[in-house]
Structure 1
Amino acid sequence: MDINKEQLHEMLHPMKVIGLGGNPALNEKIAAILNQPLIETAVHHFSDGEIQVNIGETVRGCDVFVIQSIQDPVNENFMELEIVLDALHRASANKVNVVIPYLAYSRSDTKTRSREPITAKLIANLLQLTGMDRLIAVDLHASQIQGFYNVPVDHLHAMPLLAQYFLDNGIADKGEDDVVVVSPDHSGAKLARNFGQYFDAPIAIVDQRGARYDTEVHDMIGDVKGKKCIIVDDLIDTGSRIAASTKSVLAAGATKVYVAATHALLSKDAIEVLNQLPVEQIVVTDTIKHSHYPDRMVRISVDQLLARGIDYVYNDRSIHQIFDEQNRLK
């Protein structure tokens, strides 16, 4: 019987998938698409908070994909991941691939004042110390974070999924002249420009001049008067940046406001803040799981995106094919 390369790889190094406690619902969806049952992994906490992990089946010689969204509680979920990586390394897994839908601490990616850490680099060091062979991540806060790793990093993008939602629902059609993509500050202009390309739309920038996002109305760079605005950001934390941006674009004459962001952290009283905003919809992904969400929030799943990324990595296919398809939205 002839055996091709993929079949031989599967025989020698079968795929195993582990889903940890950060976002179990997304883990299950990814595993179902891959047609791979999640390995039973018991995670126990001692009375003092220490974490004990037991992997329920052998992983010797296997290519293991560990899915963990490092969300609230951030430090607990990160330590759970670290301990599992150590266990896999000691259990003689062939390759350990880490799949992180949301990577916490990635906002601290540069030193901006004295005696400040670069925590994103620290996280990279800690992950690599425990024998990680590859990282698959979604919409890092800054693309250059990939350079903190000495192992391959596949940086997948969820923004095309959000753009497709706006196209499918007739909110923003390609070539329309009544849509403007808005960055909530100067640092997000590149993201806004990339998002606007899916609609051939111009961009505008909220000229946020304060050290923190406040309730003041700020000037706009760009014309939003009489336009439908899509405020785009990589994440929504407390909602203050979205609230300030919404107030500014409406004061500048925008007719409708939509919001698009990959990661919905929804910290503190974010749900209450977002519910009070005069926005049409807030479109996010399911990289982070919560018990409840703002009223007008629409969640787009990244399950297919991550499952394809895992499948391509396992079968030594080029991830670039995914990017090519995303650049050709319907």
Structure 2
Amino acid sequence: MKSSIKIVAGNASRPLAEAIAAYLEKPLAVCSVRRFADMEIFVELQENVRGEDVYIVQSTSFPANDHLMELLIMIDAARRSSARRITAVIPYFGYARQDRRTSGRTPISAKLVANLITEAGADRVMTLDLHAGQIQGFFDIPTDNLFAAPVMVRDIKERMDPADMMVVSPDVGGVVRARALAKRIDAPLAIVDKRRDRPGESEVMNIIGEVEGRSCILVDDIVDSGGTLVNAAEALLAKGAKDVSAYITHGVLSGGAVSRIASSKLKELVITDSIQPTAAVKLARNIRVVTIAPLLGEAIGRTADESSVSSLFA
């Protein structure tokens, strides 16, 4: 059945889509995505997809609204071209942090985006390390939430001494994610207890766990402003940690985040290419990108063959 796969790249994730296609030994489908003079998006699939299994690879990263609209139009184009099944492969699912109402008269934007993708014509969604697992339930179509943990575990084992590793959750909310990775590498767990006074800023309050003499690995799903990571690294080093690295799935890195991390005491920040790295990220002295193309490629191949995807993470 793999012969019927068509991989279509959106502008947000073209290098990643090319790597996925190479892993599957398939050429990228020829698709034109351009804009009219008033910046309206126009999509044209330039090869036959009738009866095919179409996978549209597009992160809804910055600029999130443009990339989301592009994804919706690409789904509509595939549906109107009689694709047999359309899977939206969204390595980074934007708006995921708006997964609940935090105060009165506010939206649940993640649910709205799920509705838009479904109504556009997607038959399935594949994403990576959702900010909140319950977002899977926002979709009324099958949704596969993949995990970057196997990629990160492999990298950690190749580069670090397991004898003195300590996995650290940068906040209480990320404990489940950090514990899962700590279990995979057989390392103890510590927690940073922090208080956030306003969006984009955080204050480290306390370290729960004995980190003295340890190589600490901060684990999270998203790094945006970088403030939490920088503050956590300083607090861990103040408590006697030998060094501090961070493994984060989605490198949003908005505003001055890259320079903030480059000038910090972090030994290294490792992110995936779920979001296409900027030139500044590529030049930063202590930021490294690992690819998730083989992971997504394997998941796509298994989905096309109707075989198990969850066994990838067993």
For the aligned pair, the TM-score class normalised by the smaller chain equals: over 0.9
Q: 2:99 aligns with which of 106, 109, 112?
A: 109
Give the alignment of 1:1-330 within 5 angstroms.
Answer: 6=1, 10=3, 14-169=4-159, 171-173=160-162, 176=163, 178-212=164-198, 214=201, 216-289=203-276, 290-293=278-281, 294-324=284-314
One-letter code of the match for 2:184? Answer: Y
Deviation at 1:199, TM superposition (A): 2.2
Task: Tell me if structure 2 keeps the 8 A contact 1:217–1:251.
Answer: no
Do the aligned partners of 2:194 and 2:203 also contact (CA within 8 Å) in 1? no
Amino acid at match of 1:198: R
Unpaired segments ≥5 residues, structure 2: none
Identity of aligned residues (%): 38
| Whole-angstrom CA distance in 2 between matches of 1:235 and 1:146 | 18
CA distance in 2, matches of 1:147, 1:32: 32
Distance 1:60-1:230 versus aligned 2 partners, 3 A rule? same
Instruction: In structure 2, give the amino acid aligned to 1:197.
Output: K
Q: TM-score, normalised by structure 1?
A: 0.90
Partner Cα distance (1:85, 1:283) in 2:
32
1:3 aligned residue: none
Displacement of 1:217 in angstroms is 4.6
Q: Deviations over 1:170-225 (max 9, x none)?
A: x142xx3x322111111111111111112222211111123346475521111212
- Consecutive unaligned residues of structure 1, counting only runs of 5 or more, are 1-5, 325-330
Q: Which runs of 4+ in 1 moved over 4 A?
A: 213-217
Kept after mapping to 2: 8 A contact 1:17/1:31: yes
Asked if 2 retains the 8 angstrom alpha-carbon contact of 1:162 and 1:284, the reply is no
Q: Which amino acid aligns with 1:141?
A: H
Q: In the alignment, is the contact (CA less than 8 A) between 1:172 and 1:199 conserved in 2?
A: no
Between the aligned partners of 1:40 and 1:126, the Cα distance in structure 2 is 25
Give the TM-score normalised by the residue count of structure 2.
0.95
8 Å contact 2:219–2:248 — kept in the other structure?
yes
Q: How far apart are residue 109 of structure 1 and its match?
A: 0.9
The CA deviation at 1:26 is: 0.8
1:206 counterpart SS class: strand
Higher gyration radius (CA): 1
Give the corresponding residue for 1:327: none
SS of 2:184's partner is coil
CA distance in 2, matches of 1:265, 1:301: 15
State the Cα distance separating 1:278 from its structure 2 match: 1.2
Query: Is the CA contact (8 Å cut-off) linking 1:236 and 1:263 kept in structure 2?
Result: yes
Cα distance between partner residues in 1 of 2:275 and 2:10: 13
Residue 105 of structure 1 and its aligned partner are, at CA, apart by 0.6
